[in-house]
Amino acid sequence: MQVDKLMSAEVVSINMDDTLAHVRVLFEHHRFHHLLVVNQGELVGIISDRDLLKAISPAVGTASETSKDLAYLKKPAHQIMTRNPVCLSPKSGLLDAIKAFNRYSISCLPIVNVNNKPIGILSWRDIFKFIEHNQLEKSHRKQ
């Protein structure tokens, strides 16, 4: 099975200079855990929701927030992104993805075309959903 059959094609990306405030809004309003960072359409990094939580003060959004806490939200995304993320091509196989998840201890893989432009994202959850679906399908055929 190729990863382009398993990936989510709805990729949300940001630019390197987008602020952490913008990143925070995207994570708060969408149900995903990773943002791809692009420069002129090419993948240059990735930010997880955990990366953002580590980068900003826990006081942000509370009654005890200070101007110093809010200043962190003005930082550009490239300051906290993981550079040169592990990627796969759309024709990579499921086993390639599993090996990458295990080898690099990561939770998602950007899927990029030959020009390094993101066309999808694959998470370990996508693989679990695929396995679950196949197992349910097999059990229905046996009945």
Domains of the chain: 3-142 (3.10.580.10)
Q: What is the pTM of this model?
A: 0.87
**pLDDT per position as a tens digit, 83-101:** 999 999 999 999 999 999 9
Alpha helices by DSSP H, listed for the chain, are 20-29, 49-55, 67-72, 94-104, 124-142
CA 92, CA 37: separation in Å to the nearest integer?
22
Residue 120 pLDDT level (bands cut at 50, 70, 90): very high
Angle at the Cα of 106 from the Cα atoms of 104 and 107, rounded to 5 degrees: 155
Calculate mean pLDDT across residues 31-37: 93
Q: How many C-beta neighbours within 10 Å does residue 3 have?
A: 22
- The DSSP 8-state label assigned to residue 76 in this structure reads B
